[in-house]
Amino acid sequence: MKTCKLLIVGAGAAGISAALAAWDAGCRDILLVDRASQPGGILPQCLHDGFGLAKYGKELTGPEYVMRLMEKLNRTDIVFLPKTEVLSVSGDQSAVLSRRGVVERLYFGQMILASGCREKNIGALCIGGTRPAGIFTAGQAQERINLRHQDLGDEIVILGSGDLGMIMARRFTQEGRHVIAVLEQEAHYGGMARNYHRCIEKYSIPLHCRRTVREIHGKGRVCGVTVEALDSGEREYVTCDTLITALGLIPERELVRGLEDREWLFLAGNCSRVHDLVDSAVAEAERIGRMAGRRLSV
């Protein structure tokens, strides 16, 4: 029977940090798994700097931040298994893992869920029209541009001015694409002031508040969107070939639905609540990791 003392699901910043803290607290049988082929979660696709000011006193890129965590992890005997997905978790303190086509059950003493969050997609809004090619969530677009070097389009409309929307507006502009506008339903941009100044203001990207997309046009490919001014109700057709949705993030914790009250289960990082800053996700994960580690080291 496969067992471990501490199972950590998700090797993003939170999962790795929780593992390191549990190790420092004395726990010596830790299994860290991630369905991705590399550690770091969302960070490897975040090529911009802005990570780590509180923890490291300087602004790192996402990959640099992961490298620092991995350097520490590699000095421990924590077992990290990439390409390993946790398919389910049961009340008898077991989880079903899938790795390289093999599905097996693992029993654990404690578990830390650090599975991050997912993006709200266009289905979360009642937008009329068609659903042609050329619609991406901001996270999908970031992964395709930064890691797969794909060309997504030339004339871009971004719906949502949270941090992800603003960061992607800058990214498309840096890539030589035309960001026609970032649209925001509220009266003010949604993300951090820092990102507004660095991404929107600095690159003179138009930000239109109290606006939304009412309809998407196009058959094979997006050819335009109908934009509505929410205060006047006025509508305008905007020609574009790409629509990026940045509608917010939802903590990803379906795996443990119904088990939230178990004393062997902890949540850390963005699956617990969405953290704007990686340092905040890490600080929470370190606290959780220490707690779980202390319990298991006695």
Ligand X SMILES: Cc1cc2nc3c(=O)[nH]c(=O)nc-3n(C[C@H](O)[C@H](O)[C@H](O)COP(=O)(O)OP(=O)(O)OC[C@H]3O[C@@H](n4cnc5c(N)ncnc54)[C@H](O)[C@@H]3O)c2cc1C
Residues near ligand X (CB under 6 A): 9-15, 33-36, 41-43, 46, 50-51, 85-86, 114-116, 139, 142, 163-164, 167, 255, 269-270, 275, 277-279, 281
Min dist CB 11 to ligand X, Å, is 6
Supply the minimum distance, in Å, between the C-beta of residue 53 and ligand X.
7
CB-wise, 99 or 208, nearer to ligand X? 99
Smallest gap, in angstroms, from Cβ of residue 226 to ligand X? 27
Q: How far is the CB of 186 from ligand X (least distance, A)?
A: 20
Closer of 110 and 216 to ligand X (Cβ): 110
Cα separations in angstroms, 119 against 91, 242, 253, 270, 273: 28, 18, 13, 12, 13
Burial 12-51 (b: 16+ CB within 10 A, else e): bbbbbbbbbbbbebebebbbbbbbeeebbbbbbbbbbebb
CB of 78 to ligand X, least distance (A): 15
Which DSSP helix (H) or strand (E) runs through 135? strand 135-137
Nearer to ligand X, 100 or 219 (CB): 100
The neighbouring-strand residues paired with 8 are 32, 112
Tell me the C-alpha to C-alpha distance, in Å, between residue 132 and each of 45, 224, 241, 243.
25, 11, 10, 10
Q: How many CB atoms lie within 10 A of CB 202?
A: 11
Amino acid at 118: R
Closest to ligand X by CB, 31 vs 86, is: 86
Q: Which is nearer to ligand X, 98 or 185 (CB)?
A: 98
Nearer to ligand X among residue 196 and residue 227 (C-beta): 196
Count CB-CB contacts under 10 A for residue 252: 15
* Cα dihedral 285→288→293→298 (10° resolution): 170
CA atoms within a 13 Å half-sphere pointing along the CA-CB vector of 198:
14
- Least distance from C-beta 40 to ligand X, angstroms? 7
Nearer to ligand X, 13 or 27 (CB): 13
Rounded to a whole number of angstroms, the minimum distance from the CB of residue 184 to ligand X is: 17
Give the closest residue to 73 by CA, choosing from 110, 32, 129: 32
CA-to-CA dists, residue 158 to 56, 79, 137, 155, 223, angstroms: 32, 41, 9, 10, 14
Q: How far is the CB of 193 from ligand X (least distance, A)?
A: 13
> Which is closer to ligand X, CB of 70 or CB of 238?
70
